[in-house]
Every structure is written in C-alpha cells, then in structure tokens.
Amino acid sequence: MLEEFVELQPTPKGYTPKRDPVKFGLMKIGGGYARGTLFIRRDVLAQVGFSTWRCKIMLGKGSRAHQVAVIPDPQGPFELSSTARKGKAVDPAAETFRVMLPLVEAFPDVSSAATERDYKIEVSLKSKVLVVDLPPFCWDKGSRDRLVKGKAAS
C-alpha cells in the first residue's frame, strides 16, 4: 500500500525559495486606481548597469505595446525601493526592488498578483535597457475584459 505514496521531507533550515528575477502586478491602494508595479531583483539591475536607484520608465507603443522599458538615469523621475524588511538579513544578490508606475489608462482597474515576466536586456545608444513583457491584460482588450469580468464575479 505505501508504495503508492511519495515520502515528503521537511524544508531544510535556511532554505529560501527561488525568487523570480522580474515580476509585474497591479496594486490598488485604498480606494485609488490600480497601478502597475514592477519587482526587479538586484542581479538583473546589475546586468543592466544601474549605478543609481533612479530610472526612466517608458511604455511601449505599436509593435512594442506589450512591453515596458526601464532605463537607468541618475535624474530619472522614478526611484527603485528595496522590498527587504528592516532588520532582516537578505542575500544581496536576491534582494528585490520595487517601482510603482503612474496610472496607465490601458491597464485594468483591478488588483492582480505579481507574476514572473519575461525580460531581456537590450542596448540603445550605448546604454543598456531592461525590457519587460507585460501580461496580456495590459495591452489586449479581450484579456483585460476577461480579467475585469472575473474579478467582478468574485
């Protein structure tokens, strides 16, 4: 009878689960509108060449409507903030930073959990740019309508 079961082992002490390198979600704070939120691990930021926590963020259009670009810029209007809790030891390479986007009319006005997103590092005018693929509900009307309808039903 027991051959039909798989034995489980307890989680080892000090184990930290794999952290996704880049995540995107929608957050509603209070009664406000949903805002896009990017979570980016420090090692990805290092690959892009961030020397400061400030950046510019650009929303794609046309054939790139499904993407957002994060560009290191010491005078940029956005600031990446650490999500590490104060007083808690964090592996520096696994530290995650967050940046909240302003209201984007194309995004649905519902909360959506942050999920892993595909990304690539591109070179533009001798500088590196982090290009993140957005979830379909951010750029596809059908996906957006299904998400809003699903959230309204629950």
Full residue range of the structural domain in which residue 58 is found: 22-150
DSSP-based three-state secondary structure for 77: coil
Structure tokens at 81: 């903030």
Query: For the chain, how many structural domains are there in total?
Result: 1
What is the C-alpha to C-alpha distance for residues 95 and 92, in angstroms, rounded to an integer? 5
| pLDDT score recorded for residue 90 | 60
Does some domain include residue 131? yes
Does some domain include residue 8? no
Does some domain include residue 16? no
The single residue listed with the structure tokens 């982090």 is 130
| pLDDT score recorded for residue 14 | 60
Does some domain include residue 124? yes
| pLDDT score recorded for residue 35 | 93
Q: What angle do CA 124, 115, 43 make, to 5 degrees?
A: 50
Residue by residue, pLDDT tens for the chain (154 residues) are 677 778 877 877 665 556 789 999 999 888 888 999 999 999 999 999 888 889 999 999 999 989 999 999 999 999 999 887 665 656 666 688 999 999 998 899 888 899 999 999 999 887 899 999 999 988 888 888 888 877 766 6
Structure tokens at 109: 């006005």
| pLDDT score recorded for residue 98 | 93
What is the C-alpha to C-alpha distance for residues 5 and 19, in angstroms, rounded to an integer? 29
